[in-house]
Amino acid sequence: MIMFDPNDLRRNAAWQAAQQWRTRANQPHRGPLSGLKLILTWLLFGMLLIVGTVLGLFFLLLGWAMLPIVRYRMKKRLEQLRAEQAKDAGGGYHYRETHRETHTQETYSGAHYRGSEPELLEGDYEVRDEKHKS
Protein backbone atom coordinates (compact mmCIF):
# COMPACT_ATOMS: atom_id res chain seq x y z
CA MET A 1 0.00 0.00 0.00
CA ILE A 2 1.43 3.35 -1.07
CA MET A 3 0.80 6.21 1.34
CA PHE A 4 0.74 9.85 0.24
CA ASP A 5 3.55 11.81 1.84
CA PRO A 6 2.56 15.51 2.30
CA ASN A 7 6.25 16.41 2.56
CA ASP A 8 7.00 15.03 -0.91
CA LEU A 9 7.71 18.23 -2.86
CA ARG A 10 7.47 16.59 -6.27
CA ARG A 11 3.70 16.07 -5.87
CA ASN A 12 2.92 19.45 -4.29
CA ALA A 13 1.16 21.66 -6.90
CA ALA A 14 2.22 24.92 -5.28
CA TRP A 15 5.85 23.83 -5.19
CA GLN A 16 5.70 22.79 -8.86
CA ALA A 17 4.20 26.16 -9.87
CA ALA A 18 6.90 28.01 -7.91
CA GLN A 19 9.59 25.97 -9.65
CA GLN A 20 8.13 26.81 -13.07
CA TRP A 21 8.12 30.55 -12.22
CA ARG A 22 11.69 30.29 -10.99
CA THR A 23 12.92 28.65 -14.19
CA ARG A 24 11.10 31.22 -16.36
CA ALA A 25 12.54 34.12 -14.35
CA ASN A 26 16.10 32.81 -14.70
CA GLN A 27 15.88 32.36 -18.47
CA PRO A 28 17.47 35.06 -20.62
CA HIS A 29 15.10 37.57 -22.20
CA ARG A 30 13.59 36.61 -25.51
CA GLY A 31 14.74 39.16 -28.03
CA PRO A 32 15.70 42.82 -27.94
CA LEU A 33 12.13 44.11 -27.55
CA SER A 34 11.36 42.36 -24.26
CA GLY A 35 12.94 45.16 -22.16
CA LEU A 36 11.05 47.77 -24.18
CA LYS A 37 7.78 45.84 -23.66
CA LEU A 38 8.43 45.77 -19.92
CA ILE A 39 9.05 49.53 -19.79
CA LEU A 40 5.98 50.29 -21.90
CA THR A 41 3.85 48.04 -19.72
CA TRP A 42 4.97 49.82 -16.57
CA LEU A 43 4.42 53.23 -18.18
CA LEU A 44 0.92 52.25 -19.31
CA PHE A 45 0.08 50.92 -15.86
CA GLY A 46 1.39 54.12 -14.23
CA MET A 47 -0.62 56.30 -16.62
CA LEU A 48 -3.77 54.32 -15.83
CA LEU A 49 -3.17 54.86 -12.11
CA ILE A 50 -2.68 58.60 -12.63
CA VAL A 51 -5.78 58.93 -14.84
CA GLY A 52 -7.87 56.95 -12.34
CA THR A 53 -6.68 59.13 -9.46
CA VAL A 54 -7.41 62.36 -11.36
CA LEU A 55 -10.88 61.12 -12.34
CA GLY A 56 -11.59 60.08 -8.75
CA LEU A 57 -10.57 63.49 -7.42
CA PHE A 58 -12.63 65.22 -10.10
CA PHE A 59 -15.79 63.29 -9.20
CA LEU A 60 -15.16 63.84 -5.50
CA LEU A 61 -14.92 67.61 -6.00
CA LEU A 62 -17.95 67.55 -8.30
CA GLY A 63 -19.96 65.75 -5.62
CA TRP A 64 -18.89 68.23 -2.97
CA ALA A 65 -19.83 71.12 -5.26
CA MET A 66 -23.28 69.65 -5.91
CA LEU A 67 -24.11 69.05 -2.23
CA PRO A 68 -25.49 72.57 -1.55
CA ILE A 69 -27.60 72.45 -4.72
CA VAL A 70 -29.06 69.06 -3.87
CA ARG A 71 -29.64 70.13 -0.26
CA TYR A 72 -31.49 73.26 -1.43
CA ARG A 73 -33.70 71.24 -3.77
CA MET A 74 -34.48 68.65 -1.13
CA LYS A 75 -35.33 71.39 1.37
CA LYS A 76 -37.71 73.06 -1.08
CA ARG A 77 -39.31 69.72 -1.93
CA LEU A 78 -39.79 68.88 1.73
CA GLU A 79 -41.37 72.29 2.37
CA GLN A 80 -43.70 71.74 -0.56
CA LEU A 81 -44.73 68.30 0.73
CA ARG A 82 -45.35 69.70 4.21
CA ALA A 83 -47.45 72.53 2.76
CA GLU A 84 -49.51 70.04 0.72
CA GLN A 85 -50.07 67.83 3.76
CA ALA A 86 -51.06 70.82 5.87
CA LYS A 87 -53.40 72.01 3.13
CA ASP A 88 -55.03 68.58 2.80
CA ALA A 89 -55.40 68.08 6.54
CA GLY A 90 -56.15 71.64 7.57
CA GLY A 91 -58.99 72.44 5.19
CA GLY A 92 -57.01 74.62 2.81
CA TYR A 93 -54.75 76.40 5.29
CA HIS A 94 -50.98 76.29 5.10
CA TYR A 95 -49.24 75.40 8.30
CA ARG A 96 -47.30 78.39 9.59
CA GLU A 97 -46.51 79.90 12.95
CA THR A 98 -49.79 81.86 12.77
CA HIS A 99 -51.76 78.72 11.94
CA ARG A 100 -52.93 78.14 15.51
CA GLU A 101 -54.23 81.67 15.93
CA THR A 102 -56.06 81.58 12.61
CA HIS A 103 -57.38 78.06 13.27
CA THR A 104 -58.65 79.00 16.73
CA GLN A 105 -60.44 82.13 15.50
CA GLU A 106 -62.10 80.32 12.58
CA THR A 107 -63.19 77.40 14.74
CA TYR A 108 -65.02 79.66 17.17
CA SER A 109 -66.51 81.82 14.45
CA GLY A 110 -67.97 78.79 12.69
CA ALA A 111 -66.18 79.40 9.38
CA HIS A 112 -64.22 76.18 9.68
CA TYR A 113 -67.24 73.86 9.76
CA ARG A 114 -68.71 72.05 6.80
CA GLY A 115 -72.37 71.76 7.48
CA SER A 116 -72.84 70.48 11.02
CA GLU A 117 -69.63 68.38 11.33
CA PRO A 118 -66.39 69.94 12.48
CA GLU A 119 -63.26 69.13 10.47
CA LEU A 120 -60.52 68.01 12.85
CA LEU A 121 -57.12 66.41 12.53
CA GLU A 122 -56.51 63.14 14.34
CA GLY A 123 -55.28 63.81 17.84
CA ASP A 124 -56.51 67.43 17.86
CA TYR A 125 -59.10 68.58 20.31
CA GLU A 126 -60.97 71.76 20.84
CA VAL A 127 -62.51 73.34 23.90
CA ARG A 128 -66.11 74.28 23.29
CA ASP A 129 -67.70 77.12 25.14
CA GLU A 130 -71.24 77.25 26.48
CA LYS A 131 -73.04 78.17 23.26
CA HIS A 132 -71.68 75.08 21.41
CA LYS A 133 -72.88 72.65 24.15
CA SER A 134 -76.57 73.48 23.75
Mean pLDDT by 10 residues, the chain (134 residues): 61 86 79 83 97 98 96 95 84 49 50 53 71 62
From CA 57, how far away is CA 34, in angstroms rounded? 35
The answer to whether 94 touches 86, Cβ cutoff 8 Å, is yes
- State the pTM of this model: 0.40
Q: How far is CA 4 from the centre of its chain?
A: 55
Q: Which of 101, 102, 95, 98 is nearest to 78 (CA)?
A: 95
What is the pLDDT at residue 113? 47
What is the pLDDT at residue 13? 85
What is the pLDDT at residue 28? 73
